[in-house]
Structure formats: C-alpha cells, structure tokens
Structure 1
C-alpha cells in the first residue's frame, strides 16, 4: 500500500523535477542538501540561491535571440531587471554579471544605481529606465544622474507635469519614454491603470509637450500589463492596441525607436506549473514585426522588465514544525516556528501560493494538516497547496523533527515584510543564507544576516 509521502508526491505530480530531487528521504533543491543547511544554520531560515538569477536571465535572452533570428527581426533586445523585486546588493551583483540593464521605481533606486556605477558594476552604457510617479526627490536624483553624464537614463513619463519638472532640473537635452495607461482585466476593481497616460491621449500629449520641445527627445513607449505576460485574449488585445499607438507615434516621431513591454513572466508556484515561455516570446516578436510591416514603419528595439522572473525562483524558506494541535475531529494544525505574515507576507496579503514541500522524512506516512504561524493573528496561516486543495505532510511525531520548505519566494517578500525592521507580534526575522557555486560547481554557503534579537526590536521601539 502506497502510504508514504514520497508516494503521494510521485502520484500527484511529475516528480522528480529539474530543481527538486529526493535522496535518502530528504529533499534536494538544485543539488543543495537542505537538511545540511538546517544542521549548519538551524531553522527558521531563508536562503537565496544566486546562480538561479543568472540562469533565468540567460534563458530569457536566449528565447529572444532565437525569436529575433527566426523572424529576421531588425531590432535589438535589452533585458532590464526591476530593482523593486529585490534591492539587495548580492542580487544586483549577480544579475549584473549578465550584461543587463536596470529599471527603477523610486528615488532611492537612483542612489543604488550611483553606488553600482561607483563600484564598476554599471557603466554609462547601461540603460536606467525610470518608472513610477515622480516628485521632488526622484526628479532631482534622476536629474543628477543625467547631469553627471549618464545619457542612457530614460525617465518614463507617467503624468502631464513630469516633463516640465525634469526640464527644470536637467541641464541639457535628455531622452524620455511615455507609459501607456493600459486597460485592466474585467475582474479588476477599476478599468484603467492609475499609472501612465491613456491610449487616446498619447499622440495629443506628444504634439503639445514634446514635438516642439528642443530639450526632450522621445525614445521609448512603455507598455505594462498588471497581470503579466500571459497567453490570453486580453493580453494580445492590449499588445495590439499598444502597437497601434507605437505606429502612430513613429510616423510623426522618428526618434522613437524602442518599445518596453513591461509586465513580467510568471514564476513557478506549483509542481503542476506549465508555461510555454518560448512560444510567448516568439509570438510577441512575431506580432510586433507583423504590425510594423503592415504599417510600413521600422520595428522597435525591444526592452523587457523582469523582476519576479529574475529573482523569484532563487529564494526559499525553511521552517520546523514545532507542535501539532488537534482542534476538532477533522483539523490538525501544524505550528511552524515562525510567522507567515512576517516572512511570506504575500501568502497573507494576496493569498499567493508558493511551492511547498516537506524537507525531510519523505519515506514516512503522510497526513492532511493545516499550517499555522506563531502570531496571535487569526490570519497567520497557510491553508492549501495549489491544485490539491489541501496540505499533506509526513505525520507529526514529536521525537522525529519535521521541516518544511517554501520555494520560489525570492521576489518582494523581504521588502514587503520589512527586512531588518519591526515584525508583526515582534516575531524575529529568520537567518538569511546566501548560496553560490564555485568554478568547480561546488555549493558554497555563507551567512548574510543573523536572526533578529530582542535588543534589535527594543532599539527600534525607543527602549533603553
């Protein structure tokens, strides 16, 4: 009778998978012995597997290179990393090994760019695409970067006032982009994005504020879909609407030569995950070329802004099951030694699912459970693994510690959770581990930050 946890996973999913294998009853992630991590550093812990960042960047660059060659596309491709997904230096250092560019969203991002330039990680040839709603500090930081010689800094105009604000702060001529305020999917609570300028208003805006402005040169049209790049009628319809705007602008603005298709690729959130990245890239390149050929205008250089896709699949978190509470005749609560609200806030805020698996005891029998966090908040729980509508884990046994892992958590969770600051119910931030590979392919780990201590909280709160 197949009652072991490994039997359940094998029967439910195609397993093992590229990043997951099991050896002697313990889970391996990209060849990393997760139980060895636990033995060395303890749990809870969060880790970042840095090589996955470079791997995903180069996967995307390969897909676009192949599509461009296949369709004889005459424009270039430029990969941008959205810093807001993870601002950590080790993430940027890894990403920038791969000849990429940067997309920013707020004022302090420019300070990070300047630090990276000073250390030689970014050059004047690196595009810095400045998105977001811009006011005083962001405007002045962008202007300082451009005035200091970074001509490949392109502010993306989000509203009608930003050109005037930038013109006052920037000494010489500068390039800009315009963000399209795309229409949202019907299920959204609003019809049009709050960011950017409406489709119908972009050409009149160009004619009024840019066409005769000798200081400003329009280089880029920015198109962003909140739900990301997906094979849906909604996405393709919005892309075609964007291309109509690009074509209309291109015919009256020869300097326009770039199209930024913001909105990223999805990140694997289940062992059932399927997404044909190569098909989507191929079809995007094909649709852009066909639309431009039909209108007899030059195709644009393509920019993409991948944040979660770049860094998401590099991250993970490991917890220990502290205790099991039998609350009624059907529900068993496995209590983790941390909090979902503080360490994986998207599970609480937007009911996001991550890949969740037992780290050890795969050869033990399994049971159905609920997962609860340590805070006294009733929302501090994780209720189901996507596609199975339940959580199954090896049976809780006090004398046999059980560890569980959440994977592909590398985007947003630390910044949304307030890394290094106050945590809900003052649950400590876990240890952070960095994982790399040397030239021989050997796994190397290092401690990035210790778990928070009571004195850290007291200092923030003003206690002596």
Structure 2
C-alpha cells in the first residue's frame, strides 16, 4: 500500500496555477478555496471579499457550496447510468445526518433536494424544526435508523413526528422495535435492516457475522411476515449497509451482492417492497491521492440489480444511498497559524500551531486517519519536510499520525505562515464536541460559514467561538 498523499511533497515551491483538487488552488503564492483567498481572512489587503474585517486563528471554515456540489454530482452520475442502462427504478439520495448535524449543513442538504436520514431522538427534534421552517417538505423521505426499542425516547418521539410528516420510514433493527408502530394508530411505511456490516460475500457469512446492527436472515423473514400481516404497516425498504469509506468499487459491490440477492427474494414474496438502500460506504477524498470511479460503481451496482431482479422475475428497485462523509467531508476546513519552530535535535523540525490537532480531528490520533494539510501563505517559497505539533501538552497532539509514513512538507519561511486542514467536515466536530470542554481546556474556535450567491459573490456568517469565561462556566466554575 502506498503512503497517503496529504499535501505538497517537494522541496521546491508550488507552481502558480496548481490545482490540488477540485477546489484547492494556488494563486500568487497563496491558497484559495475555489475563489476564496484564505490568507486574506487573516492578513487583509487585496480586493474586499466581504468578510468586513481581518480574523484571528484558529478558524473553522464551513463552505456550504461544496455540499450542494457533492449532492448534484452523485445525482448526475446515477441519472446518466440509469439512462444508459434503461434502469427502471429511481435513485434516492439521503443525507446521513450523524456525519454533521449542524443547522447550516442540514439546511443545505434539504435545500439541495436530499432525503433525510437520522438515528436518535434529538435528530427527531431537528427534523421537526426543519418541517416547521418549510425545509423538510412533505415529499421527502425521512429514514429512521438506530436502535428504537419500545418505550424509548426515540421511538416515542418518532410516533409524535408522524403527525407532522407522513413519509417517515422506521428501519427495524430488532424484532422488539415493531410493536410501537403497530399500535400507534398511524400508517407507517417501514424498512428492515439486514445484519450485513463487514466483508461478507455470501448468505452464510452474513448469518455468521458478528454485528450489533440489524437482523439475521431468520429474523429478517420473521419480521417481514409480521409486518405483512399488520393492517397499518407496509414493508417498503430493505437496508443493507456493508461498511464505511469503501474505496475499491469491485470490493464494495462484492459485499453488496448477497443483499441484492436477498432483496430480490423478499420482493418476490412482499410486492410492497421497492427500495434497496445500500446505506453508507461511498468514499470521498480525504487525501490528495484519492481516486474512485463513481460512475463505474453506479453502473456495476445497477447492472447487478437488473440481472438479479430479472432472474427472480421482480421489478428493479428504487436505489437509495445514505451519504454522510461523502456529503460533508470536503466542505469543512480548520485554519491555524504556525507560532514557532523547534528543531529539538529531531530529524524533522517541529512546527507548533495555535490549536490542538487531536481535539480538532479526533480520528487523526484515535484511528490514524489522514487529512489534507496545505499552507495558506508562502507557497511560492521553498518547502521542507516537517512534523506538526498542537498547542496542548499531550504527546499525541501531532500530525502526521504517529504510525504514519506519509511525509508532510511546509514552507521554510514561517513568518505569517498559516496552514489549513482540509476534508475534515464529517464527524470531526461532532466527535470533538460542539461547545463542549476541549482537551487541555482550549476554547472552541470561531466559525466562518461561507455561502455563495448565483452572482458568484460570497456571503459570510461569523459565529463566535468560546472565551475563557465560556470555558470556565462550562466546567462548573462560577467566575
């Protein structure tokens, strides 16, 4: 396996006009996020971008146009392949909200036309809020994953939400979850989740899999029979999620094939079933070496569904994906300033930044996850290989991750050197805790929400971070 490419990998300056990916590019020695000069946010000067003042680091960037772009791209991919193959079913894009539940994110996914997926009782409150604002419209499916046993707050809250939204689809994870919906007095379309997470390529492997998610094959048929006999329940969706960030299209499809087979068998007995939900797993570029053939995967998936459904004599299903990381990873960035350089007799100099890496990006130290790191300034100057240290006193507050062999290069010039971590918009803020107490009692950074109008002009909303009083009060100190 080759090393992940996390940034510029040469000692020479970055040529002007370089595009690192679809949205990060270099102009006059500075890094731009599409057309937004990131260094100008801190240094000022140049044409007015509309922020109104210079900002301090650390700074979180929430770039909402990327979310719309991701949704539109995936919908276009499946539309092209469906037309090419003459595929009869629809494609349904759902946003998996656990990736990032921020108001501006969910508002943007809904305004872009996505269906909505959720997994907890607070998610139900968020959905109700979006319904009241007219953003979660009656035509949208709301897929209700997660454990929802009878009597739980989640199950009870879902029953209340049904009064406000008809297209609510509880996805059953356990046989004991059916009863509240059966006795609710409402009609419900329901789904069944297969125990499928992991590298299972046959029904026997599914049955033997160790997963806390979903029903085994025997339970699946029992639940389907139970639902079919219920006067107010209608089986419409089969959920078969096999993993996360599956970067090999052939392997992704191989894991899905047993579920495609089971869907066709279920559909033959239960004609109301019409949605094959492959859940999550769609990968996204976390590093600069990412390469995934979305169109090729969509073609293989729809062809497999066509062939299997033809063999069983059943209609081709509507296909749903639950896109969390894919939707939100690239819309988020976190910008820091390099405070000082310490040689410390190490092979590589330490560049120390004004924030915490491990608090801001928990997956980096917990899972060894890589993210893109690029300088905002001095890209026209020589580079050297370095290691980054956060401002905390924790030995794990470093980047690249401790076991990583990926090199990190940054400019030798460190006066007014700012840098950014990119592709951090999924899970990192939610795992680190929004408005929570951070490691080594660091305050939460300011957040700049970026929107772009049809005329190309930027609009900004600056959300304040925490000050010392906020941090102390959050920890119970009354000062």
Q: Number of paired residues? A: 452
Greater shift, 332-341 or 377-386, is seen at 377-386
Cα RMSD of the aligned pairs, angstroms, is: 2.4
Structure 2 SS opposite 1:155: strand
Cα offsets for 1:388-422 (capped at 9, x unmatched) = 7211111154xx22111111111111111111111
Structure 1 SS opposite 2:171: strand
Q: Does 1:176 align with 2:190?
A: yes
1:231–1:280 CA contact under 8 A, matched in 2:
no
CA distance in 2 between counterparts of 1:9 and 1:389 reads 19
Structure-2 residue corresponding to 1:85: 99
Distance 1:201 1:10, change over 3 A: farther
Cα offsets for 1:184-205 (capped at 9, x unmatched) = 138xxx9432110123442233
Q: Does 1:27 align with 2:41?
A: no
Structure 1 SS opposite 2:229: coil
Cα offsets for 1:318-363 (capped at 9, x unmatched) = 1111111122241321111000121112212211111111111112
Structure-1 residue corresponding to 2:12: 7
Structure 1 residue corresponding to 2:155, chosen from 139, 149, 155: 139
Structure 1 SS opposite 2:39: helix
Unaligned runs of 5+ in 1: none
CA distance in 2 between counterparts of 1:374 and 1:435 reads 27
Q: Does 1:159 align with 2:174?
A: yes
Q: Does 1:197 align with 2:215?
A: yes
Structure 2 SS opposite 1:192: coil
TM (norm. structure 2) is 0.89
Shift of residue 167, structure 1, vs aligned partner: 2.5
CA distance in 1 between counterparts of 2:71 and 2:381 reads 38
Aligned 1:344-359 pairs, distance under 5 A:
344-359=361-376
1:365–1:395 CA contact under 8 A, matched in 2:
yes
Aligned 1:188-337 pairs, distance under 5 A:
191-207=209-225, 209-231=226-248, 234-337=251-354
1:223–1:261 CA contact under 8 A, matched in 2:
yes
Shift of residue 453, structure 1, vs aligned partner: 0.7
CA distance in 2 between counterparts of 1:337 and 1:228 reads 30
Structure-2 residue corresponding to 1:49: 63
CA distance in 2 between counterparts of 1:454 and 1:356 reads 28
CA distance in 2 between counterparts of 1:97 and 1:386 reads 41
CA distance in 2 between counterparts of 1:305 and 1:232 reads 17
2:368–2:403 CA contact under 8 A, matched in 1:
no
Structure 2 SS opposite 1:224: coil
Q: Does 1:416 align with 2:431?
A: yes
Structure 2 residue corresponding to 1:123, chosen from 134, 137, 143: 137
Distance 1:384 1:183, change over 3 A: closer
Shift of residue 76, structure 1, vs aligned partner: 1.2
CA distance in 1 between counterparts of 2:323 and 2:457 reads 28
Cα offsets for 1:288-323 (capped at 9, x unmatched) = 111101211111111111011111111101111111
Q: Does 1:362 align with 2:379?
A: yes
Structure-1 residue corresponding to 2:51: none
Unaligned runs of 5+ in 2: 1-7, 44-53, 201-207
Cα offsets for 1:111-157 (capped at 9, x unmatched) = 111111101111222100000111411001111111x1522100000
Distance 1:287 1:152, change over 3 A: same
Q: Does 1:61 align with 2:75?
A: yes
Aligned 1:400-439 pairs, distance under 5 A:
400-439=415-454
CA distance in 1 between counterparts of 2:269 and 2:209 reads 29
Distance 1:15 1:228, change over 3 A: closer
Greater shift, 71-80 or 221-230, is seen at 221-230
Structure-1 residue corresponding to 2:475: 461
Q: Does 1:71 align with 2:85?
A: yes
CA distance in 2 between counterparts of 1:280 and 1:34 reads 35
Structure 2 SS opposite 1:102: strand
Structure 1 SS opposite 2:190: strand
